[in-house]
Structure 1
Amino acid sequence: MAHTLAPQLAHGFADPVHDGQAVFRAAMEALSRPGRIRPLDTALTPPAPLTPELAAVALALIDADTPVWLDAPLRAEPAVAGFLRFHTGAPIVASPGQAAFALIADPARCPAFTDFAQGTPAYPDASATLILAVETLSDATGLAFVGPGIRGTVCLDAGPLPADWASRWAANHSGFPLGVDCLLVAPGRLAGLPRSARPVTPEAIPCT
């Protein structure tokens, strides 16, 4: 068994330091400039249903001190947990509330944000970051946002997402500085939504 898994597990970053730093910078820039789509090029070939972009962000952000929660499709494939443990040493936790990071391959069925760590008034950074693998990602249409790091307004549309995405994000923002942050990754691209991003209705501010 170990012999058959070794080639698959070895498919991490070709240059772990350089590639990891590049993805880390892209993720941090995405969260500091909410809604702005950035390129995310990766040659990773992780075990499905872990997408290359989901794997790249995980390998860049996660280490042995950051517990990780996997959604149902990712938990169903043991090679996914093996890949993450091999490359990051991160503990895989059973409950969303225990996780510093959550990897979500089926974002339409993402658990309620309140299932994840929200941080505390003394330690708001002790909250979870959700990394969602979406199929589509666009800043031409969608929900409009205002807030720190946004000049005027910015739009972001992604799919699939939960049907109550707009209302759950509004509730998430209303608890600021508590709440979760999200990274949305699509083929070749990513965008960030920190809890500081406030959604506005299209009637209030046009999404242009």
Structure 2
Amino acid sequence: MTLAFDSAGLGPGFADPVFDSQSVFRSVLNAVAYPGAIERLAHRPGAPEGLDPAMASVVLTLCDLDTPIWSDAALSSEAVSTYLRFHCGAPLVAAAADARFGLIGDAAAMPRLDAFAMGDERYPDRSTTLVVTVPSLTEGPQRQWSGPGILRRRTVAVAGLPDWFWADWALNQGLYPLGVDVLFACGDAVMGLPRGITVKE
């Protein structure tokens, strides 16, 4: 007996999964290589309500059976969970520290950074990458970013982050090569904040 999958209401994912995911992968690599630069995504998948298109693009490109996902309360709908399971096959975990990817739909209410996996001395790559939806990549408080991939410094103004975020980031950056990495997602764009970047007012 064959059981039919009920796909009613399920977002379609990428129109061309191979080509579109390759394009998004290149954009994400650029975002990480040049922190603080806004990288526009040429291809965006269909996504359920509440899941930012840029976040959906990143997840469909980077997540698979071997990348456990944790998502916050803003992304806890059955529609989002079904979408992630169907298109990525990634396991959804209840504990933030067990995730390779942490999806934050409500940046203002996000957990503190030390709630996530920081990696360890032997395997610093076994840390969590956070994908954080923000209302704007240009209209928040200005900060000066410096480090690998940035010539001298770059002025960045991400909006919607909690008051404690940059203090936590300073602690996170001090753990290098351990620590979380962050991708900010907004509409059709992403911005990378790797763990080696120093951020000051």
Same fold (TM over 0.5): yes
Instruction: Note if contact 2:11-2:47 (Cα within 8 Å) is conserved in structure 1.
Output: no
Give how far 1:85 is off. 0.6
Partner of 2:30: 29
Partner deviation per Cα, 1:38-86 (whole Å, 9 max, x = no partner): 11244422111111111111001100110000101111x1111100110
Question: How far 1:8 sits from its partner (Å)?
Answer: 3.0
User: Corresponding residue for 2:121?
Assistant: 121
Please list the CA deviations of residues 20-50 of structure 1 after superposition, one character each: whole Å capped at 9, or x if unmatched: 1111111111111111111124442211111
- With 80-89 and 8-17 compared, the bigger mean Cα shift is at 8-17
* 3-state DSSP of counterpart to 1:50: coil
Question: What amino acid does structure 2 have at the position aligned with 1:24?
Answer: F
Name the residue aligned to 1:83: 83
- 1:189: Cα distance to partner? 1.3
- Normalising by structure 2, what TM-score? 0.93
Does structure 1 conserve the Cα–Cα contact (< 8 Å) formed by 2:13 and 2:87?
yes
The correspondence of residues 38-53 of structure 1 with structure 2, limited to 5 A, is 38-53=39-54
For 1:13, give the aligned amino acid. F
**Equivalent residue for 2:7?**
6
Q: 1:141, 1:155 within 8 Å by CA — same for their partners in 2?
A: no
**Unpaired runs of at least 5, structure 1:** 202-208
- Name the SS of the counterpart of 1:31 in structure 2: helix
Offset at residue 200 of structure 1 (A)? 2.6
Contact 1:101 1:128 in 2 (8 A): yes
* Counterpart contact for 2:108–2:162, Cα < 8 Å: yes
Residue 138 of structure 2 aligns to a residue whose secondary structure is strand
8 Å CA contact 2:14, 2:46 repeated in 1: no
Asked if 1 retains the 8 angstrom alpha-carbon contact of 2:116 and 2:180, the reply is: yes
Separation (CA, whole Å) in 1 of partners of 2:117 and 2:140: 31
Residue 182 of structure 2 aligns to which amino acid in structure 1?
Answer: C
8 A Cα contact 1:140 1:155, kept in partner: no
Q: Which amino acid aligns with 2:178?
A: L
Residues 1:188 and 2:194 aligned together: no
Instruction: Give the CA deviation at 1:139.
Output: 8.7
Corresponding residue of 2:150: 150
In structure 2, the partner of 1:71 is 72
Structure 1 runs of 4+ aligned residues shifted over 6 Å read: none
Post-superposition Cα deviations, 1:124-182, rounded to whole Å, max 9, x if no partner, equal 11000000011100299611111111111012211211111221111110111111000
1:41/1:189 contact within 8 Å kept: no
Aligned-residue Cα RMSD (Å) equals: 1.8
Distance in 1 separating the partners of 2:46 and 2:54: 10
Partner of 2:58: 57
Q: TM-score, structure 1 length as denominator?
A: 0.90
AA in 2 matched with 1:88: C
Structure 2 partner of 1:130? 130
Aligned position for 1:205: none
Counterpart CA distance in 1 for 2:53 and 2:171 is: 31
- In the alignment, structure 2 segments of 5+ residues that lack a partner are none
Richer in strand (by share): 1
